[in-house]
Amino acid sequence: MKPIIFLFVYLIFLLLARGAISDDAWHPVPDLQDKFITGIVQLTVNLMNEDPGFGIKLINVEKCEFQDTVDGRYYHFFFNAIQSRTNIMHTFEGSVLKELNGHLRVMWFKWDKTRLIR
């Protein structure tokens, strides 16, 4: 698992080094109900629910922003979900590149345990 995380971090540094991503170019997604973002988050939740030991229920999309790059539109998002088995809420963070040809490329993804829901 650590080599995959290292690879994703390396890809981000490559994009930063070539100037494809800069902090001043980020824009908030005005409507968090945007169909694309909702679809990406729901796809992520569905993929995670394929693992029978995990199982999560989406609570909300907290924040989403995008940046247009030479390769397409790069989305960065946060969402909260509850793990069904343990009732622990997690905050998930991810980045997706929607390429100019319409293909999606997941750049990186992580989650942190936040709190127990009673």
How high is the pLDDT of residue 7? 63
Q: pLDDT > 90: what percent of the chain?
A: 0
Band (pLDDT 50/70/90 cuts) for residue 15 is low
- For 2-116, CATH gives 3.10.450.10
H-helix or E-strand containing 44?
A: helix 35-49
Alpha-carbon span 27 to 40, nearest angstrom:
18
Tokens found for residue 51? 């693992």
Band (pLDDT 50/70/90 cuts) for residue 3 is low
Q: Where are the domains of the chain?
A: 2-116
Vertex 81: Cα angle to 77 and 84 (nearest 5): 155
| pTM of the entire predicted model | 0.60
Alpha-carbon span 15 to 64, nearest angstrom:
19
How high is the pLDDT of residue 10? 65
